[in-house]
Chain A
Amino acid sequence: MTLRQRGFLFDPNRCLGCRTCIMACAANKNLPVGMYFRTIENQEQKIGNLILKYYLSTSCNHCNNPECFRLCPKKALKKRKDGIVLHDPLKCDGCGTCTRSCPFEAPVINNITGKMIKCDLCHEKIDEGKQPACIAACPVKALQLINIDEIDSQADDIVRRLPGVIKIQITRPAMRYKKLKIGSQALRNSVADNLEQGELKYKDDQV
């Protein structure tokens, strides 16, 4: 049985670091104040003489080999047929094993309930044919929902890791990235111009 693994495709050339994805997620999930499923990091990497600067938006990677799922003593996590890792709050006792075992530190403990909470890829929305809140809210379409297995064999400008992204990939995160392009700030300006005109066009080869 071949199962589809859903995941995120993130385009660092488009991300403005505006945090709209974080806020849309928090509002949609009614998260307590100060708690988020998604983070934005300002990455600055030196490669040779080049200094790469970009924003990195991350949340739960819905890994193919999720450690949270393996180690949960209460068996409170499950994986759907489309690869989304879900959490059952009724089984969870908030022991925190999952938060410690995830290499990406994606699950967090809810201060109010004392139980773990994590990104569920807005699976109800996906079932209704809609996009997850973070993806729908992104003004520059830097995030996309993809089928990992399909995208791996299709695009050659897509990579498993970016400079600065955590190197350890043994859990097989369902996350892919567009390759970084030099001069992406210029690209962002052109995106903003195009958005004002009501259309989203990219000049991918723009430097």
Chain B
Amino acid sequence: MQAMHELAKGSQITDLTEMLAKQLEKVVVITDATNRILAHYDPLDTGIEMSKFFTLKYHATKNKQYCDGQWETELGLIDYVYFPIKVEGKSYGNCIVLCSSEEMAIEQLKLIEQMSLVYLLALREILQNDAARERVSDEIVYDILYNNYDSKVALYEKAKHLHWDMEGPYAILVVETKEDKINTVRKAGPLKFNSSSPIHTIVNEKVVFILSLTNIISKNIEDTIDGFVKKLLSNLASNHIKDVHIGISSTAKALTDLHQCFQEAKIALELGKVFNLGKINHFEKMGFLKFVFTASAQELQEFEERILGNIIVHDLELEADLLDTLKVYIEQNCHIANTAKAKYIHENTLRNRLKKIEQLVNLDLSRIDHLVNIYIALQILALDFYDGS
């Protein structure tokens, strides 16, 4: 009842947590539905350090009101009991008490159960406020990302109103993951980057982070961004999200150049997926690949067919494996022994195949200019099989 009064008087979730922790005489942590820590209070001064997320290990217990688990810390394993704060069909967060379930008295359990309702109301308000703030910010971010504004002055005014750091340069990070995890990825972004809060939004099932690079010298930019990505991935791992692809743009001097960076980050992400370049892809490191697909698609296809057409036809007619052999040979840096090993064939078989390939494509595999053509044709072929889904 007292907590309800406190909430009505305008007390924050941190005040409520302090009140509960003092009454329980235990460490209390409140998280939202994405396990982000919103408040914690340690009445015992245990010195346990909290990060941004509390990784819950879900356990079903006989008692449906609460579950228990163990938290791995530098001080060793710590028992905890957590109470889901939810209504039917929607979870708002968790109330976590650092102790084992045996240490909880019946009165304490009852107290937490009563407090859950107060937390539910407080968390709902936080959620609504966050959503309203994000709606306003998303509108402006969208206009920036798609160059969709009439006046630069008005744009800067809006940005100023939202307390954004308007000094460039900037970089953009685009994160793609499963659709149902998108909101969690947005919330998992580190709170600070280069001593300011990164601007974030969701556009077409991708999370976009706008990072201000003010006062970072150019040779340190990449390392600083990588540090941000590392923290982000660590936060995502706390939420059991591992399947992500990240595209990172080059730098933009001003807010009004960000639309180009946004496209670069998306292209880096897409090319990384097409060419299996790994989870994290910097646009600036894409080399010639970033130029390849900006040529006329018709010309690219004709180039690819001219170089590889005969091999593809040969493979289809004789059910042979020359195209894949060539791919692996290029992947293995033209190393005969490694290619033979990767293809599970004898080196002499490989040499015969390479001879056949040279005859079919009418190119010399020992010449760098011919190899470059073959490499580009293979990359275009990889683009062909990518349907964007």
Give the CA-CA distance A80 to B203 in the complex, in Å.
13
**A70-B263, A160-B388, A170-B383 known; A1 vs B297 contact (CB < 8 Å):** no
**In the complex, chain B residues whose CB is within 8 Å of the CB of A70:** 259-260, 263-264, 267
A168's nearest neighbour on chain B, judged by CB, is: B297
Whether B271 contacts A64 by the Cβ 8 Å rule is no
Task: Tell me whether A3 and B259 are in contact in the complex, defined as CB-CB below 8 angstroms, given that A104-B297, A161-B387 are known contacts.
Answer: no
State whether B147 touches A65 (Cβ < 8 A).
no
Known: A75-B259, A80-B146. A168 touches B205 (CB 8 A): no
**CB distance B259 to A169 under 8 Å?**
no
The winner among A71, A152, A172 for most chain B CB atoms within 10 A is A172
Q: Chain B 262-297, CB within 8 Å of chain A: the 1/0 string?
A: 011011001100100000000000000000011111
Q: Is the CB of A166 within 8 A of B297?
A: yes
State whether A81 and B147 are in contact (beta carbons under 8 Å apart), knowing that A65-B263, A65-B270, A103-B294 are contacts in the complex. no
Chain B: which residue is nearest A80 at the CB level?
B148
Instruction: Write the chain B residue with the least CB distance to A76.
Output: B147
In the docked arrangement, what's the CA distance between A1 and B131, Å?
11
B301 interfacial contact with A, CB 8 Å: yes
A166 to B386, CA, bound (A): 12
Q: Are A166 and B301 in contact (CB under 8 A)?
A: yes
B81 contacts chain A at the CB level, 8 A cutoff: no
Q: Using Cβ atoms and an 8 Å threshold, which residues of chain B touch A79?
A: 146-148
Residues of B within 8 A of A80 (CB): 146, 148
Give the residues in chain B near A78, CB-CB below 8 Å: 146-148, 259
For residue A1, which residues in chain B have a CB less than 8 angstroms away from its CB? 135, 138-139, 142, 201-203
Query: Which of A79, A81, A105, A152 has the largest number of chain B CB atoms within 10 A?
Result: A79
The interface residues of chain B lying within 8 Å CB-to-CB of A64 are 204, 266
B384 at the interface (CB under 8 A from A): yes
Cβ of B259 to closest chain A Cβ, rounded Å: 7
A133 CB-CB contact with B under 8 Å: no
Instruction: Report the minimum CB–CB distance from A3 to chain B (whole Å).
Output: 6
Contact A169 B387 (CB under 8 A): yes
What 1/0 flags go to A61-91 for Cβ under 8 Å of B?
Answer: 0001111011100010111110000000000
* Inter-chain contacts of B260 with A (CB < 8 A): 70-71
Q: Which residues of B contact A203 (CB under 8 A)?
A: none
Asked if B2 CB lies within 8 Å of chain A CBs, one says no
**Contact partner of B296 among A5, A69, A103, A171, CB < 8 A?**
A103
Question: Which residues of B sit under 8 angstroms from A101, Cβ to Cβ?
Answer: 294
The answer to the question of A2 belonging to the interface, with a C-beta cut-off of 8 Å to chain B, is yes
Closest residue of B by beta carbon distance from A75: B147
A167 interface contact, C-beta 8 A: yes
In the complex with contacts A3-B203, A70-B260, A79-B147, A168-B293 CB distance below 8 A: yes
Max chain A C-beta neighbours (<10 A), residue from B146, B260, B295:
B146
With A80-B148, A167-B297, A170-B267 known as contacts, the answer to whether A75 contacts B256 (CB < 8 A) is: yes
Decide if A166 touches B298 in the complex (CB within 8 Å): yes
Q: Which of A7-21 contact B (CB under 8 A)?
A: none
CB-nearest residue of chain A to B300: A168
Judged by a CB distance under 8 angstroms, whether B46 is at the interface is no
Q: How far is the CB of B260 from chain A (nearest CB, A)?
A: 5
Interface residues of B in 218-232 (CB under 8 A from A): none
Query: Which A residues lie within 8 Å of B267 (CB)?
Result: 65, 70, 170
Give the nearest-CB partner of B265 in chain A: A65
User: Which residue of B has the minimal Cβ distance to A65?
Assistant: B266
Residue B73 is within 8 A (CB to CB) of chain A in the complex:
no
Task: Please determine whether A170 and B274 come into contact, CB atoms closer than 8 angstroms.
Answer: yes
Whether A170 contacts B148 in the complex (CB less than 8 A), given A67-B294, A69-B259, comes out as no
Interface check B366, CB cutoff 8 A: no
Contact B383–A168 (Cβ < 8 Å): yes
Docked Cα-Cα span, A105 to B257, in Å, equals 24
Q: Any chain A CB within 8 A of the CB of B389?
A: yes
Across the interface, B388 reaches (CB within 8 A) one of A71, A105, A169, namely A169
Q: Are B256 and A81 closer than 8 Å at their CB atoms?
A: no
9 A-B residue contacts at CB 8 Å? A3-B142, A3-B203, A69-B259, A103-B300, A167-B384, A168-B384, A169-B386, A170-B274, A171-B293
Binding site for B on A (CB under 8 A): 1-3, 5, 64-67, 69-71, 75, 77-81, 100-101, 103-105, 149, 152, 160-161, 166-172
Known: A161-B387, A166-B297, A170-B267. 8 other contacts (CB 8 A): A1-B139, A1-B202, A69-B146, A71-B294, A100-B294, A103-B300, A167-B383, A170-B383
